[in-house]
Chains A and B, each alone.
Chain A
Amino acid sequence: MRMIMGLRRVLLPAGLVLTAMLTAATPALADGSTAGADVSVAQSLGGRELTVVLRRITSIPGPLHVDVISHAGSPGGVLRLSVSPTGPGNPSAGRPASGVVTSRGSVTLSGTPGAFPAVLTVDRAGPWELTVDDGSQLTRIPFQAYGQVTSPPDKAVYAGFSVAGLCLLAGLLLVVLLGRTRWLAVVAGGMVSGIAVAVTGAILSASLPLPPQPGTQVDSTVQNATDPYAGLGRTGDYSRPPAMLLLAGTTLPTGTATTVGLRVADAATGLPVDDVVVHDSALMHLMIVGPGGGFWHLHPARIAPGRFAFTFRAPQPGHYAVTAELGRRGGGVQMLRSPSGLDATGNATGAADPAPMTANQSRAIDGTTVQVALPIPVAGAPSTLRVRVGDAAVLQPWLGMLGHLIVVGPMPSGGDTGNAAQGAAVWSHAHAMDSQTVMAGGDGMAMEPMVPMAAGANGESLPDETVEAYGPTVGFTFVFPLPGIYRAWIQVERRFGIVTVPVQITVVTA
């Protein structure tokens, strides 16, 4: 009897601890689709500038909620959507092999800017393709559906507590029903071992790095679909060779909407690059500088593996410098400057491009008052440019950022901007991110709320571009590497339209 009382003294607290551990450990488990947040993908499809938002997938099989956000000036019409799995499957899975459409939907754009929803279905984890077709052009957006994953430490937690629980039960049965006290050493030892394993697993679970993520870091395979922890050693370096940008054609007529094809090829093998991932809310950011100082920031449609296309209407004859930004799976965002660019022939059409703003001045752009605060930067030292767009905090995050600054130079003042940009030593793309940059001016441009930069745990997502809550002042800090005259374009989103502010900056020698 004393033995049983003693046992109770040991087992009761042990049981309580065990229960506490089981409940306390649960939130720390790395289960679930932590990588599965909303994905926004900007697409210049035909004459429309769209943002396709793929909402977080919460169950597989389950619904995929897609919001198509149209911008000011995008005409109404119907977009047909479809999804098809693209990855390798297990032969015993009993589902049709990848490569065919499994679910369809459509959205009807009204012509008024805003978000237009559609719901499709995904039936398996792994890589997928969302096709958006406007009737004349289509784009294939790759995305990843993440399934439930149990990490090795989590498995240790489950196994450890299971062993401890079984030992507890066995101990009770042996002592209370059979009166065999000799076994207690084994049973108690098993229980302690089980709890030790489980506690170790629970502590490690929260702090161990995630395995390489199929889709963003490594290719999806049959093996890593079921267990991303299996097989490969985690080297931390999944990067790939640089890519090359090949323009299908280099001449086009002025004043006519022309579809220009692009190919992206691997610089080591020459093979088509089909591992472009969404970076800064687009598969590819294409920037074009025209002969009159015009600036275009487009997001070409992915029409096939390694092949993109965009529609471009060149207003003036002359040279257009072309640069693309993209990121390949495994990391390594890169800027690809086309060595050819585009040449437009024909007569000038439309109004001439507005002259760049060169000092602290204000100007109405697209009906909005824009005020710039330009420093006189010193080469090699950080300088901060700020712009105030309108008077209300209604700026929207565009491409995940409050503002974009594209800097090209040094180049001669005036003259042919397209040719000068083609040969410019500096071509940069900075982002407006923090309130500190805005505060640094000290000229009365007040601190504004800023877009959160990091997604929260448990699949929380960043505000998308339907949130009109930021600005009106945005700031950029940039170190001009060389002295000289630079052309720059600041872009923000306001009332679902992109406001582009052309500026010219003269950088002096230290």
Chain B
Amino acid sequence: VKSPAAAVAIALGVLIAGVVWFFATQGTGRPVTAVVGSARHIVTLTLGSPRSGDQTVTVQVTDRDGNPYAAPSLAFTAVLPTMGYSSPAMTAVATQGAGHFTAAGVELMTPGIWQFQLSLPDAAGKDQVIVPVSVTG
């Protein structure tokens, strides 16, 4: 480098790269996956984009030994406790084989920590798993 101008250009380049890196790693819109277990089941819930609006929820359910939860559909509600809001009962249908369920168009109308409350009845009776997910604006 032969001139101060070039040095300044390099410094600016480094600065811009840093800013781009900072925002690229914030990534609030990337899918989020959470695993929550009960005594009998393990739920792996993925929210396509943890932002408010209509979202797609995919759920994988197994028993504690890893066997898929064999049911044609899964009943759940989306609850925002801080607002005192509960969605109507919704259904995720088995789409990609046993134990995999998908629900599209789940309306998360405002940011907050939402709870997906899933009912998992089986031969032993009722079971419920609650999966909390942070949803941003």
Contact = CB atoms under 8 A, between A and B. Distances in A.
Q: Bound pair: A and B?
A: yes
A185 B9 CA distance: 12
Contacts of A233: 111, 137
Given A96-B37, A186-B10, A189-B11, A232 B82 contact: no
B50 interface: yes
A182 B2 contact: yes
A99 B132 contact: no
Given A98-B36, A266-B84, A88 B2 contact: no
Nearest to A224: B134
Q: Which applies to chain B's interface (DSSP): helix, strand, loop or mixed?
A: strand
Contacts of A330: 82
A279 to B, nearest CB: 17
B115 A219 contact: yes
Nearest to B127: A99
> Which range contains the number of B residues in contact with the other chain?
35 or more
B37 A182 contact: no
A271 interface: yes
B34 interface: yes
Contacts of B111: 232-233
Given A182-B2, A221-B134, A223-B50, A91 B11 contact: no
Contacts of B67: none
B84 A241 contact: yes
A97 B35 contact: yes
Nearest to A273: B81
A230 B134 CA distance: 9
- The interface centre, meaning the residue of B115, B131, B134, B137 with most chain A CB atoms within 10 A of its CB, is B134
B132 A220 contact: yes
Contacts of A93: 35
Contacts of B115: 219
Contacts of A275: 81
Interface stretch (B38-46, B68-76, B93-101): B38-46
Interface in A212-236: 218-224, 230-233
14 contacts: A88-B35, A90-B34, A98-B37, A99-B39, A100-B37, A186-B10, A190-B11, A220-B132, A221-B34, A223-B133, A231-B134, A240-B82, A269-B79, A274-B130
Given A90-B33, A221-B113, 13 more contacts: A89-B35, A91-B44, A97-B42, A98-B37, A99-B42, A183-B1, A186-B11, A218-B113, A222-B34, A223-B32, A223-B134, A224-B134, A269-B86
Q: Report, nearest first, the 5 A-B pairs whose CB atoms are least far apart.
A: A268-B84, A99-B37, A97-B37, A88-B34, A241-B84
